[in-house]
């Protein structure tokens, strides 16, 4: 407590120390221990927070050798004491951090009957029924003169107050436990078959009402769709009268998901008539993969939780800046698409309600197909998903490897698009190129400094007043843009520019007028065109669900391409971003939620939109949640698929315009399945070391999110980059599947030639990228044809290696190249972990075996790269463009494993046709017993020959080398065989042997 009479306080402290004034807890909870008698409860360097979290006491002292972190007077921990039922309670008192404990419309008595706290507030959006206590409601938990350390060590909450008489040490009631008895459904009317089961789930009159009105009965169906895919669907029985709990629109997945004959189910799921419903999924060996806890289904609130291990290995559920392996003790963020410039731990541009968990070395996947906003939390060994609408449309994928899970998942959301070969080349862009002549200078400077460049991008600078489908007549005159594009084509380079979804509502602006004629814009709640604001000012937004939208969008893009042909397009701001919070022209107050009334503007549960400390209104930087789409849909129900639907429509439009070439499309906003139509970049990142690190986990996540063609803005988008950071980012960026240097308006130039060391680092790293282009392209195509990935994580490759499952500062390109980037400022070395196997240095070919950790030299211009034993890497070049690269002879780099074996493959086609019509080569390479064998299918006429083969790990010099029956010359260095001057056709099988 705080008093003005300091003398009184000192006297009371003395009495307390003498034991004359005590709390209810016994002395065993006391942290008043003579420093000479303290028993160490921590470790050297422990912090106060870490000590208290361990349940120990904390108190600094000048007594030499006395621990600052120590056990209680009884020799135990504070967590062993009786804390008056206060374990696990929040101590937050800031009203902006209140956690809702009731529902809108709840009464004070109803709140207190839940054992929650009641504190009224006149601030909109602040719950009155809360787990966080207003200071006027504090209940004293200490004694006069108690210290903060003693208060918290006793399991109480501490917060100072300026108000006289308010206790600083206090306790508070806890929020009711998740999934109480009143929330449990009973299984009735169960019907089973060999391919699944159906049932009615019945609350039988019980009342849950955690946040909203309950659905008393639910239709449940479990479908055994394949041996490795279990599909569980739960919706209200009275679905016709609950349009906001129906399935996602069919247009979001315009293809049929194929089932397979059941031969050997890898999972089991059981229900019993008359018993409580539980969501527990097991493998066929009886091990539990999903041990369900809460299951709540209310009109605007759904909840599902499961138990997890304290050291759980969980990956996914994004888009979010977070470590690759999710924090198993403290993870919380929303999935709600937003124009949010990459803060750590918040909802970003896309929503992917999919995760992979590895348990005892085996992986399974979980997908919740639901486009409503949701919250994802992992705390106290419980994973919880809370959704503000829709239904439970759940898929379980049994793996058992991460690769298997991804293949199984892709069958549901669609395999990634077949992208053109040139998209693997290097890309350059920035927001802020002054005019077309500045862009031309950038292309010229790349060539001058011998840095590869395939594609030049232009951000919204080219537009006339930032309006879509226009060119600024002074800075980007169409005649000059056409000349620029023509020059690029002569050099076999490419051009991509921007299309935002928002259309300026300027009168006489043709795309707007044509949109009005076709009536394809989203409506507000009154039926008028919804008006927001984006770059050109006031705008309207295309409705991607409207039957006229494809015709409209195809026409606008075609007219735009007729001005100056682009090779691809970039769709940005498609969350949909809005500079107003909801409608600009007709704003109105958001009515508070009332139990029993559907309210899309103010749902009963607040997700962490723009962060857990914000929980902003859903319309913040978005459309109004009651904005209307064709067919009765509203934004509340389908907000998270706005960008996804734009990608589908734009992809179709590009195919309508040119049905021969593969479309290249880059989208900022994504959802499961977007990769079938578009690539992705990680958004408006920051030019700092932290975002450099998080770019790795971002790329790894999108490999299994179904968009493997992904990368960050190299050197950062927001804020000024610098020489060291940009050098390291260019090195790492050379191994992004989508590699593009891009920065923002008003920041210094960061093209790789700006700094000498960055130019050299770029030349070295991009030389590797271009050399391995045949390897990269093979992987790119196989994402489409075989549901594979381009980048691979250590967790996926070595799931039984306890160290590997947490590594996210290294990654694999394919499965044969290991990248160990420097992501620390000032570092000139980096420590990498190398799992089991043989590893070869890319540059020196020196080898060693894992598992081991190694500290690697890494001067500023150098990135460590290693080849994994057992892999064959096909190469060409390197050159300065993909076209030049493809006109260079082939080489094979063979890295033998400990058994002197290796495998690899190569795919070849024209690199551009959407339908190659069977004209491709697919070659499988194997090495065993000193013989390289190439076998394949050959329907594409590849002009280039295999010129050179390098074999690493050859332990002794061969007496001779035979290629296709003829003896050839070779060189042998230590453990390295080099066979040069070959001229082997890439259109037929061959063998090369050494003895």
Segment holding 16, helix H or strand E: helix 6-17
Say yes or no to pLDDT of 181 above 80: no
Distance, CA of 859 to CA of 724 (rounded, Å): 11
Give residue 16's pLDDT band: very low, low, confident or very high (50, 70, 90): very low
Annotation marks residue 684 as catalytic? yes
Among 117-126, 181-190, 427-436, the least confident range: 117-126
**What is the tens place of the pLDDT at every residue in 518-551?**
999 999 999 999 999 999 999 999 999 999 999 9
Distance, CA of 775 to CA of 541 (rounded, Å): 41
Q: How many helices (H) and strands (E) does the chain have?
A: 17, 51
For 23-42, what is the mean pLDDT?
Answer: 65
**Using an 8 Å Cβ cutoff, are 94 and 121 in contact?**
no
**Using an 8 Å Cβ cutoff, are 827 and 852 in contact?**
no
Q: Return the number of other C-beta atoms located less than 10 Å from residue 272's C-beta.
A: 11
Distance, CA of 450 to chain centre: 34
**What is the tens place of the pLDDT at every residue in 743-759?**
999 999 999 999 999 99
**What is the tens place of the pLDDT at every residue in 87-140?**
334 454 555 556 667 655 677 766 765 556 777 776 655 677 776 555 655 667
Tell me, what DSSP letter sits at residue 508? T
Angle (CA) 600 602 606, round 5°: 110
**What is the tens place of the pLDDT at every residue in 199-253?**
999 999 899 999 999 999 999 999 999 999 999 999 999 999 999 999 999 999 9
Query: In what side-by-side order are the strands of the sheet with 537-540?
Result: 503-504, 537-540, 532-534
**Using an 8 Å Cβ cutoff, are 638 and 625 in contact?**
no
For 55-70, what is the mean pLDDT?
Answer: 76
Distance, CA of 319 to CA of 315 (rounded, Å): 11
- Mean pLDDT score of the chain, rounded to an integer? 90
Distance, CA of 337 to CA of 351 (rounded, Å): 6
Q: Catalytic residue among 575, 801, 922, 942, which? A: 575
Say yes or no to pLDDT of 289 above 60: yes
Say yes or no to pLDDT of 36 above 90: no
pLDDT confidence of residue 369:
98
Segment holding 394, helix H or strand E: strand 392-397
Segment holding 152, helix H or strand E: helix 148-153
Instruction: Taking the CA atoms of 208, 214, 215 and 220 in sequence, report the sign of the dihedral they define.
Output: negative
Name all domains of the chain by residue range, CATH numbers in brackets: 35-82 (4.10.110.10), 91-132 (4.10.110.10), 134-174 (4.10.110.10), 186-413 (2.60.40.1760), 787-994 (2.60.40.1180)
Distance, CA of 16 to CA of 21 (rounded, Å): 5
Sequence-distant (6+) residues with CB within 8 A of 415 are: 675, 676, 706, 783, 784, 785, 787
**Phi/psi at 616 (nearest 5 deg)?**
-65, 160
**Using an 8 Å Cβ cutoff, are 418 and 662 in contact?**
yes
Distance, CA of 767 to CA of 898 (rounded, Å): 29
Say yes or no to pLDDT of 190 above 70: yes
SS3 content of the chain, % helix, strand, coil (to 5): 20, 25, 50
Distance, CA of 742 to CA of 14 (rounded, Å): 64
Q: Rounded to whole angstroms, what are the CA distances from 872 to 859, 891, 894, 932, 965?
A: 28, 10, 4, 10, 22
pLDDT confidence of residue 154:
62
Say yes or no to pLDDT of 626 above 80: yes
**Phi/psi at 410 (nearest 5 deg)?**
-60, -30
Annotation marks residue 572 as catalytic? yes
pLDDT confidence of residue 50:
62
Sequence-distant (6+) residues with CB within 8 A of 966 are: none
Distance, CA of 444 to CA of 432 (rounded, Å): 18
> Which of 271, 73, 311 lies closest to 187, judged by CA?
271
Distance, CA of 925 to CA of 984 (rounded, Å): 14
Helical axes 478-490 vs 436-448, angle rounded to 10°: 20
**What is the tens place of the pLDDT at every residue in 940-981?**
999 999 999 999 999 999 999 999 999 999 999 999 999 999
Pairing of strands 713-714, 740-741: parallel
Burial class (CB in 10 A: 0-12, 13-18, 19+), 9: middle
pLDDT confidence of residue 63:
73
Q: Return the number of other C-beta atoms located less than 10 Å from residue 767's C-beta.
A: 18
Q: Catalytic residue among 150, 303, 454, 684, which? A: 684
**What is the tens place of the pLDDT at every residue in 335-374?**
999 999 999 999 999 999 999 999 999 999 999 999 999 9
Say yes or no to pLDDT of 789 above 70: yes
**Phi/psi at 786 (nearest 5 deg)?**
-130, 10
For 677-702, what is the mean pLDDT?
Answer: 98
Distance, CA of 112 to chain centre: 39
Point out which residues pair with 386 in neighbouring strands.
303, 375
What size, in residues, is the chain?
995
Helix (H, G, I), strand (E, B) or coil at 534: strand
**Using an 8 Å Cβ cutoff, are 964 and 945 in contact?**
no
Q: Rounded to whole angstroms, what are the CA distances from 671 to 353, 374, 639, 654, 810?
A: 9, 13, 11, 20, 26
pLDDT confidence of residue 169:
82
Q: Rounded to whole angstroms, what are the CA distances from 868 to 457, 838, 849, 872, 901?
A: 35, 6, 10, 9, 12
For 300-308, what is the mean pLDDT?
Answer: 96
Q: Rounded to whole angstroms, what are the CA distances from 511 to 504, 515, 540, 658?
A: 8, 6, 11, 21
**Using an 8 Å Cβ cutoff, are 155 and 78 in contact?**
yes
Q: Catalytic residue among 357, 572, 637, 861, which? A: 572
Say yes or no to pLDDT of 425 above 90: yes
Q: For the chain, what percent of residues have pLDDT higher than 70?
A: 89
For 547-560, what is the mean pLDDT?
Answer: 98
Say yes or no to pLDDT of 803 above 80: yes
Say yes or no to pLDDT of 1 above 50: no
Q: Rounded to whole angstroms, what are the CA distances from 8 to 11, 122, 549?
A: 5, 37, 77
Helical axes 510-518 vs 549-563, angle rounded to 10°: 160
> Which of 327, 323, 351, 452 lies closest to 764, judged by CA?
452
b/e string for 407-433 if b means 16 or more Cβ within 10 A?
A: bbbbbbbbbbbbbbbbbbbbbbbbbeb
pLDDT confidence of residue 235:
98
**Using an 8 Å Cβ cutoff, are 430 and 447 in contact?**
no
Q: Rounded to whole angstroms, what are the CA distances from 262 to 229, 258, 403, 411, 684?
A: 10, 13, 21, 16, 46
Sequence-distant (6+) residues with CB within 8 A of 526 are: 586
787 sits in the region (left: phi over 0; alpha: psi -120 to 50; else beta) called left
């Amino acid at each position: 407590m705080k008093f003005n009479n300091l003398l009184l306080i000192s006297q009371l402290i003395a009495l307390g120390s003498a034991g004359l004034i005590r709390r209810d807890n016994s002395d065993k909870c006391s942290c008043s221990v003579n420093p000479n008698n303290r028993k160490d409860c921590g470790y050297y360097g422990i912090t106060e927070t870490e000590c208290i979290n361990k349940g120990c006491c904390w108190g600094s002292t000048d007594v030499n050798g006395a621990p600052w972190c120590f056990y209680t007077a009884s020799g135990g921990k504070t967590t062993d004491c009786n804390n008056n039922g206060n374990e696990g309670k929040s101590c937050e008192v800031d009203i902006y951090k209140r956690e809702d404990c009731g529902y809108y419309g709840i009464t004070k008595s109803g709140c207190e009957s839940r054992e929650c706290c009641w504190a009224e507030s006149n601030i909109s959006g602040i719950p009155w029924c809360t787990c966080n206590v207003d200071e006027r409601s504090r209940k004293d938990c200490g004694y006069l003169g108690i210290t903060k350390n003693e208060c918290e060590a006793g399991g109480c909450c501490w917060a100072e107050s300026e108000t006289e008489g308010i206790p600083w040490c206090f306790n508070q009631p806890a929020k009711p436990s998740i999934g109480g008895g009143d929330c449990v459904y009973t299984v009735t009317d169960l019907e089973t078959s060999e391919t699944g089961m159906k049932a009615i789930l019945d609350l039988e009159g019980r009342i849950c009402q955690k946040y909203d009105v309950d659905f008393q009965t639910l239709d449940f169906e479990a479908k055994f769709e394949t041996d490795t895919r279990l599909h569980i669907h739960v919706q209200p029985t009275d679905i016709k009268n609950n349009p906001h709990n129906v399935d996602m629109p069919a247009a979001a997945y315009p293809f049929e998901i194929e089932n397979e004959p059941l031969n050997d189910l890898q999972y089991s799921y059981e229900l019993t008539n008359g018993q409580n419903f539980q969501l527990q999924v097991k493998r066929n060996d009886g091990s539990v993969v999903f041990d369900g806890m809460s299951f709540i289904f209310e009109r605007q609130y759904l909840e599902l939780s499961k138990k997890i291990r304290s050291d759980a290995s969980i990956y996914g559920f994004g888009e979010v800046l977070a470590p690759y392996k999710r924090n198993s003790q403290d993870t919380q963020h929303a999935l709600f698409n937003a124009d949010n410039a990459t803060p750590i731990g918040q909802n970003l541009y896309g929503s992917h309600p999919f995760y992979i968990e590895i348990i005892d070395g085996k992986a399974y996947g979980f997908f919740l197909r639901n486009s409503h906003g949701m919250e994802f939390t992992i705390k106290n060994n419980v994973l919880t998903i809370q959704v503000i609408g829709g239904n439970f449309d759940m898929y379980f994928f049994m793996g058992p490897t991460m690769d298997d899970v991804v293949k199984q998942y892709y069958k549901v959301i669609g395999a990634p698009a077949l992208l053109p070969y040139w998209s693997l080349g290097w890309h350059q862009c920035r927001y802020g190129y002054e005019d077309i002549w500045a862009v031309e200078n950038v292309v010229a400077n790349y060539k001058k400094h011998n840095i590869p460049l395939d594609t030049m991008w232009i951000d919204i600078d080219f537009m006339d007043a930032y309006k879509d489908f226009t060119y600024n007549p002074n800075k980007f005159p169409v005649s000059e843009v056409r000349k620029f594009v023509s020059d690029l084509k002569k050099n076999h380079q490419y051009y991509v520019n921007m299309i935002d979804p928002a259309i300026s509502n300027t009168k006489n602006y043709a795309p707007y007028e044509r949109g009005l004629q076709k009536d394809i814009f989203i409506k507000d709640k009154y039926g008028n065109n919804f008006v927001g604001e984006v770059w050109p000012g006031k705008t309207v937004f295309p409705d991607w669900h409207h039957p006229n939208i494809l015709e409209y969008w195809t026409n606008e893009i075609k007219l735009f391409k007729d001005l100056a042909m682009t090779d691809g397009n970039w769709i940005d701001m498609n969350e949909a971003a809005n500079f107003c919070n909801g409608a600009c022209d007709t704003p109105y107050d958001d009515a508070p939620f009332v139990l029993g009334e559907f309210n899309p503007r103010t749902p009963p549960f607040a997700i962490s939109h723009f962060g857990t400390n914000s929980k902003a209104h859903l319309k913040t930087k978005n459309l109004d949640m009651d904005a209307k789409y064709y067919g009765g849909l509203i934004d509340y129900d389908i907000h998270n698929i706005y960008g996804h639907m734009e990608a589908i429509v734009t992809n179709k439009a590009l195919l309508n315009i040119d049905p021969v070439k593969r479309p290249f499309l880059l989208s900022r906003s994504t959802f499961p399945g977007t990769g079938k139509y578009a690539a992705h970049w990680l958004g408006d990142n920051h030019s700092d070391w932290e975002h450099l690190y998080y770019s790795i986990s971002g790329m790894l996540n999108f490999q299994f999110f179904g968009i493997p063609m992904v990368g960050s803005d190299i050197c950062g988008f927001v804020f000024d980059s610098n020489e060291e950071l940009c050098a390291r980012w260019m090195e790492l960026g050379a191994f992004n599947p989508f590699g593009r240097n891009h920065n923002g308006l008003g920041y210094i130039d960061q093209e790789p030639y700006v700094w000498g060391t960055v130019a050299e680092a770029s030349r070295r790293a991009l030389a590797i990228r271009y050399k391995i282009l045949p390897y990269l392209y093979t992987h790119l195509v196989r994402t489409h044809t075989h549901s594979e990935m381009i980048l691979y994580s250590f967790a996926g490759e070595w799931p039984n290696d306890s160290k590997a499952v947490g590594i996210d500062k290294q990654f694999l390109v394919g499965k044969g190249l290991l990248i160990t980037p420097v992501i620390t400022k000032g570092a000139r070395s980096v420590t990498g972990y190398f799992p089991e196997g043989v590893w070869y240095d890319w540059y020196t070919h020196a080898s060693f075996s894992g598992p081991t950790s190694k500290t690697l030299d890494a001067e500023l211009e150098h990135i460590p790269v290693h080849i994994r034993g057992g892999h064959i890497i096909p190469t060409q070049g390197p050159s300065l463009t993909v076209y030049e690269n493809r006109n260079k002879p082939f080489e094979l780099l063979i890295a033998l494993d400990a058994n002197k074996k290796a495998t690899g493959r190569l795919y070849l086609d024209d690199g551009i046709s959407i339908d190659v019509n069977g004209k491709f080569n697919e070659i499988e390479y194997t090495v065993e017993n000193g013989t390289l064998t190439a076998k394949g299918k050959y329907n594409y006429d590849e002009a280039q020959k295999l010129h050179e083969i390098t074999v690493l790990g050859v332990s002794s010099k061969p007496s001779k080398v035979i290629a296709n029956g003829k003896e050839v010359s070779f060189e042998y260095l230590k453990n390295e065989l080099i066979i040069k001057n070959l001229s082997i056709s890439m259109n037929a099988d061959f063998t090369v042997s050494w003895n």
